[in-house]
C-alpha cells in the first residue's frame, strides 16, 4: 500500500508515530465551534484543510512510487509546504493565482472551493450589484466578507478531481487538463490558476502586470471590450472571455531562494515604484520560506530583512506549521490588499521534507539534527495535533482519513497510468501558437470597415482633422506612429507603454502625440527596466488587454529575454490555449545609425528571438509595409493570442531617399482604410522587388538589407543583370514558400544578412533552401561575428552595398 513507501526521512512512518503519541482530548468539541476559543477556523473547516494537506502529502508519496518503476516523470513535491492550504482558504476562488511548484495543498483547496461553491440567489444578486458598484467607483470598495463562504465538503471526495489533475501531470498524460502532458504544472482556467513553469520567480513580473491591468480595467468603462483577449475558459474559437471580478486580487507564490533572483527584484521594485507613484497594484506575494534553494541555505534572517525592506510593499508574516494563525494572517493580508488595492507580501515560514526532488540526497548537505528539526515542524502533523488537542477528532480517526486518502490516491495513480501520452510532434506543438490567417485577415477587414464607417468621425478627430492618408508621403517612423494611432482607435483594450514613450514620444519620435490623443491610461511611461516592461505586458495581456510595450533598443532586450522565452511564448503551450498573453513588442534595433551608437544602439543580434518557438518576428523595412504589418500583428494577437516582436530598423526610421539624395523613394503614402484589405500582409509572406529582367539573380534579405540590396540591384542593372530582391519581412515564421519560389526562378541566390554570420538569419534561409532540395548556386553576405564598434569602425563588420555588389558578381561568375 502507498503508506509503506519510505523516504530518506521515513516521512510516512514518522507521521504515524506522531499520531500514535498524541494523547486523547478531555472532551470532544462540536466541529461547528471554533477549533480554539479565539480561532477564526471552526473544527470542521480545519478538518477540511487537513484533508487537503493529506491529499497533497499522499500525492508526493505517489510521485515517488510512480518514479520507482519509470512511470512518473516529476518528483518535486509539496511536503512541508502544506501550510499554503490556509492561504488558499483565505482567498476567493476568483482571485487569479500564479503558483510555484510546491502548491499541492493550495491547488486542492482551490479546486474544492470551485467545485462545491453554492451561493443563494439573493446573495449572488447582491454580489453582482456590489461588483457593478465597484466597477463604477474608482475608490476602494468597502471591506468584503471574509473568504470561506464557498467551503469544500471535506474528505478525499472534495479533492479527488484535483488529485487526478496532479497525477496526470506526473505521468505526462495527454488528458491532464491544463498542459495536456507537456509539463507538470498547477493550473486550470476554471480555478483562476495560471500555469507557471518557472523555478526562479520569472512569473513575478507577470503578476505585477496582472495586478496593474486588473486595477486599470476595474477603473475603466469595460463597455466595448471585445471577447478574445486574455483569459479563456476552454480553448479554440468558441472559448469565452472570462475577466476576473473588479475587486479581484492577484496572488503569486515563490520560494525563499527566488527572493535573490533578478526577476523577483524587478517585480518587487516595479510594484513599489508604482505604489510610490500613486498607482494601485493589488498583488499579494506569498514567499514560502523553507530556508533552502536546493542545497544552498538562505542566511538566517535574510529573507525577512529583504522582504521588510521592499518599499511600497506591506509585510505580513506567519508560520505554515500553525494553520490557525496562517489562515488568520493570510485572511488579513488578502483583505488589506483587496481594500487598499496595494501590494503586500506574506512571508510564510515552511520546511522542506523529502528533499528538493526524488534524486536529491539531503544527507550530503544537511545534518541529521537539521532533518529531525524539520520533521518536528511537519505542517500535516501540526494540523493533526491541533485537531486532536481540540477534541475535533481522535488520532485513530485522522489516521483512518490519512490511509483512506492514500488508498484513493494510489487507485487514481493506477488509473492514470493507462491514459494516453502525446503521440506525435504534431500533438506536442498543436497548442504552441495557433495560426488562423483567414480570421486575422477578417479582423483587419473589420477594422477597416469600422475606421471608414461608424468610427470615421472619431478617427478624424483623433488625427486633428487630417488623417495620415492626407498627410502626404511618410517616413517609416511616421507610418508606424499612424498605425499605432489607428490601432488604439480600433482596440479599446490596447495600451502603448515603455521607457520615454509618453511625454517624450519615444527616443526617435515614433510614439509622438499618442498620449495627448489617447490619454495617460493608454499611453504611459514605465520605469527603466525591460524585465518589468515585458512583465507588465504579459500580465496585461492575460488580464484582457492588448499590450504594445516598447523596448527602447534591441540590446536592452537581452537582459529580459526570458520574459519572452520562458513566460510569454510558453503560455498557450502549457495551457492548451486556456490562457493567452497576446502582445506586440515593439523593439528599436539593428545597426547602421550614422554618427551614433556602439553596440548598445547598433545591435544586430536576433538569434535569441528566432530560437523561441511560436514567436512572430516582423521586420518592416518600408513605410508602406510598416502599417499593414503592424495591423496584422495586432490582429494576430487579438485573434490568436500571438506574441509578436515588431523589430523596427532604427537607421530607416527617418530615411527619405533610396538611390540619390532628394529622390524621396523611401517615403510612401499611408493607405486609407478602404485599401487596408487589399494591402493586407499575412504573417510569413515576403515582398518581391523586380529590377530589370529579374531573371539572373535572387537577393534574399530584410531590414536595412532591403535598401542596400535595391541600390546594389540598380548598379547591377546597369551591367545588364536582372535581379529580384526578396524582402523577407518576417523572420519567424520565415516565408519559406516565397524563398523557394523566387530562388528557383533564377537558380542563383545571394543571401544578404545584416545580422551575424554565426546564428544569423542567413543560416535559416540557406537551411530552408537545402531542405527544399534547391540545386542552384547560393552565397551569403553577412555581418562579421563581432559586436558593432563605435564610429567608422562599424563599417568593417557590417554588410555594405559594395559587399553585396561584389558578392553578386562572384556568384554570377560561377
How far apart are the C-alpha atoms of 258 and 263, rounded to whole Å? 8
Residue-level pLDDT at 199? 65
- Over residues 276-317, the pLDDT tens digits come to 999 999 999 999 999 899 898 899 999 999 999 999 999 999
| pLDDT band at residue 81 under the 50/70/90 scheme | very high
How far apart are the C-alpha atoms of 682 and 176, rounded to whole Å? 34
Share the mean pLDDT of the chain.
90
- Mean pLDDT within 401-407: 96
**CA 448 to chain CA mean position, Å:** 30
| H-assigned helices in 684-781 | 704-718, 736-746, 761-771
- Over residues 531-553, the pLDDT tens digits come to 999 999 999 999 999 999 999 99
pTM score of the predicted model: 0.90
Does position 359 have pLDDT exceeding 90, yes or no?
no
How far apart are the C-alpha atoms of 814 and 796, rounded to whole Å? 26
How far apart are the C-alpha atoms of 614 and 591, rounded to whole Å? 25
Does position 634 have pLDDT exceeding 90, yes or no?
yes
Does position 33 have pLDDT exceeding 60, yes or no?
yes
- Over residues 208-243, the pLDDT tens digits come to 999 999 998 887 744 334 333 444 433 333 333 446
In this structure, what is the dihedral angle of CA atoms 268, 273, 278, 280, given to the nearest 10 degrees? Answer: -30
Q: Residue 464 is placed in which grid cell?
A: 486633428
Look-up of cell digits 480561532: 39
How far apart are the C-alpha atoms of 581 and 638, rounded to whole Å? 10
How far apart are the C-alpha atoms of 570 and 559, rounded to whole Å? 18
| H-assigned helices in 191-279 | 204-219, 262-277
How far apart are the C-alpha atoms of 141 and 122, rounded to whole Å? 20
Question: Residue 780 forms beta bridges with which residues?
Answer: 751
Q: Residue 340 is placed in which grid cell?
A: 487598499
| pLDDT band at residue 120 under the 50/70/90 scheme | very low
Say which range, 192-206, 444-458, 495-509, has the weakest mean pLDDT. 192-206
Q: Determine what percent of the chain is predicted with pLDDT higher than 90.
A: 80
- Mean pLDDT within 563-589: 94
Does position 8 have pLDDT exceeding 90, yes or no?
no
Residue-level pLDDT at 222? 44
Look-up of cell digits 530598423: 649
Residue-level pLDDT at 713? 97
Amino acid at each position: 500500500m502507498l503508506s509503506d513507501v519510505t523516504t530518506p526521512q521515513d516521512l510516512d512512518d514518522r507521521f504515524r508515530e506522531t499520531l500514535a503519541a498524541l494523547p486523547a482530548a478531555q472532551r470532544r468539541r462540536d466541529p461547528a465551534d471554533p477549533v480554539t476559543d479565539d480561532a477564526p477556523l471552526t473544527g470542521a473547516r480545519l478538518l477540511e484543510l487537513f484533508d487537503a494537506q493529506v491529499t497533497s502529502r499522499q500525492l508526493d508519496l505517489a510521485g515517488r512510487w510512480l518514479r520507482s518503476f519509470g512511470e512518473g516523470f516529476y518528483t518535486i513535491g509539496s511536503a512541508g509546504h502544506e501550510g499554503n492550504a490556509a492561504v488558499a482558504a483565505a482567498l476567493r476562488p476568483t482571485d487569479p493565482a500564479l503558483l510555484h511548484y510546491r502548491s499541492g495543498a493550495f491547488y486542492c483547496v482551490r479546486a474544492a472551493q470551485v467545485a462545491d461553491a453554492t451561493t443563494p440567489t439573493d446573495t449572488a444578486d447582491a454580489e453582482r450589484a456590489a461588483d457593478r458598484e465597484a466597477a463604477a467607483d474608482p475608490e476602494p470598495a468597502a471591506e468584503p466578507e471574509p473568504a470561506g463562504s464557498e467551503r469544500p465538503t471535506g474528505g478525499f471526495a472534495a479533492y479527488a478531481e484535483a488529485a487526478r489533475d496532479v497525477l496526470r501531470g506526473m505521468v505526462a498524460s495527454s488528458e491532464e487538463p491544463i498542459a495536456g502532458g507537456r509539463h507538470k504544472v498547477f493550473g486550470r482556467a476554471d480555478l483562476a490558476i495560471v500555469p507557471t513553469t518557472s523555478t526562479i520567480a520569472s512569473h513575478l513580473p507577470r503578476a505585477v502586470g496582472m495586478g496593474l491591468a486588473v486595477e486599470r480595467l476595474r477603473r475603466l468603462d469595460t463597455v466595448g471590450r471585445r471577447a478574445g483577449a486574455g483569459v479563456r475558459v476552454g480553448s479554440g474559437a468558441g472559448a469565452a472571455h472570462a475577466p476576473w471580478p473588479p475587486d479581484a486580487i492577484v496572488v503569486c507564490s515563490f520560494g525563499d531562494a527566488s527572493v535573490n533572483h533578478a526577476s523577483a527584484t524587478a517585480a518587487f521594485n516595479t510594484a513599489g515604484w508604482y505604489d510610490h507613484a500613486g498607482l494601485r497594484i493589488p498583488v499579494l506575494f506569498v514567499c514560502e520560506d523553507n530556508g533552502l534553494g536546493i542545497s544552498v541555505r538562505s542566511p538566517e534572517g535574510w529573507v525577512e530583512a529583504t522582504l521588510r525592506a521592499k518599499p511600497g510593499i506591506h509585510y505580513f508574516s506567519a508560520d505554515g506549521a500553525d494553520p490557525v494563525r496562517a489562515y488568520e494572517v493570510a485572511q488579513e493580508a488578502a483583505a488589506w490588499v483587496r481594500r487598499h488595492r496595494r501590494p503586500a507580501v506574506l512571508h510564510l515560514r515552511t520546511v522542506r521534507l523529502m528533499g528538493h526532488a526524488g534524486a536529491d540526497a539531503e544527507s550530503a548537505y544537511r545534518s541529521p539534527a537539521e532533518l529531525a528539526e524539520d520533521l518536528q515542524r511537519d505542517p500535516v502533523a501540526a494540523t493533526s495535533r491541533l485537531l486532536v488537542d481540540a477534541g475535533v477528532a481522535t488520532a485513530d480517526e485522522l489516521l483512518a482519513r490519512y490511509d483512506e486518502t492514500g488508498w484513493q490516491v494510489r487507485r487514481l495513480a493506477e488509473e492514470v497510468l493507462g491514459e494516453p501520452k502525446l503521440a506525435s510532434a504534431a500533438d506536442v506543438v498543436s497548442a504552441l501558437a495557433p495560426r488562423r490567417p483567414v480570421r486575422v485577415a477578417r479582423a483587419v477587414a473589420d477594422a477597416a470597415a469600422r475606421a471608414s464607417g461608424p468610427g470615421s468621425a472619431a478617427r478624424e478627430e483623433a488625427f486633428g482633422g487630417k488623417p495620415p492618408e492626407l498627410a502626404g508621403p511618410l517616413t517609416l517612423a511616421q507610418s508606424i506612429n499612424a498605425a499605432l494611432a489607428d490601432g488604439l482607435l480600433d482596440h479599446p483594450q490596447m495600451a502603448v507603454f515603455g521607457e520615454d514613450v509618453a511625454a517624450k514620444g519615444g527616443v526617435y519620435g515614433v510614439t509622438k502625440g499618442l498620449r495627448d490623443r489617447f490619454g495617460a491610461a493608454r499611453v504611459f511611461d514605465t520605469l527603466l527596466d525591460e524585465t518589468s516592461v515585458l512583465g507588465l505586458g504579459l500580465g496585461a495581456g492575460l488580464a484582457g488587454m492588448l499590450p504594445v510595450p516598447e523596448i527602447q533598443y534591441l540590446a536592452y532586450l537581452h537582459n529580459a529575454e526570458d520574459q519572452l522565452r520562458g513566460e510569454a511564448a510558453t503560455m498557450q503551450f502549457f495551457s492548451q490555449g486556456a490562457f493567452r498573453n497576446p502582445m506586440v513588442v515593439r523593439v528599436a534595433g539593428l545597426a547602421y545609425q550614422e554618427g551614433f551608437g556602439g553596440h548598445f544602439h547598433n545591435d544586430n543580434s536576433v538569434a535569441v528571438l528566432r530560437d523561441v518557438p511560436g514567436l512572430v518576428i516582423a521586420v518592416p523595412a518600408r513605410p508602406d509595409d510598416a502599417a499593414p504589418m503592424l495591423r496584422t500583428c495586432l490582429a494576430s494577437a487579438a485573434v490568436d493570442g500571438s506574441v509578436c516582436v515588431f523589430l523596427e530598423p532604427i537607421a530607416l526610421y527617418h530615411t527619405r531617399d533610396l538611390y540619390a539624395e532628394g529622390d524621396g523613394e523611401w517615403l510612401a503614402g499611408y493607405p486609407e482604410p478602404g485599401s487596408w484589405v487589399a494591402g493586407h500582409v499575412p504573417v510569413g509572406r515576403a515582398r518581391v522587388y523586380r529590377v530589370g529582367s529579374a531573371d539572373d539573380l535572387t537577393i534574399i534579405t530584410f531590414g536595412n538589407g532591403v535598401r542596400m540590396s535595391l541600390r546594389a540591384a540598380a548598379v547591377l542593372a546597369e551591367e545588364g543583370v536582372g535581379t529580384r530582391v526578396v524582402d523577407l519581412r518576417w523572420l519567424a515564421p520565415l516565408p519559406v514558400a516565397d524563398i523557394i519560389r523566387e530562388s528557383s526562378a533564377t537558380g542563383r541566390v545571394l543571401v544578404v544578412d545584416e545580422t551575424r554570420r554565426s546564428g544569423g538569419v542567413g543560416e535559416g534561409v540557406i537551411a530552408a533552401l537545402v531542405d527544399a532540395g534547391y540545386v542552384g548556386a547560393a552565397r551569403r553576405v553577412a555581418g562579421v561575428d563581432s559586436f558593432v564598434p563605435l564610429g567608422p569602425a562599424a563599417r568593417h563588420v557590417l554588410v555594405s552595398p559594395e559587399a553585396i555588389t561584389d558578392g553578386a558578381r562572384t556568384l554570377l561568375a560561377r
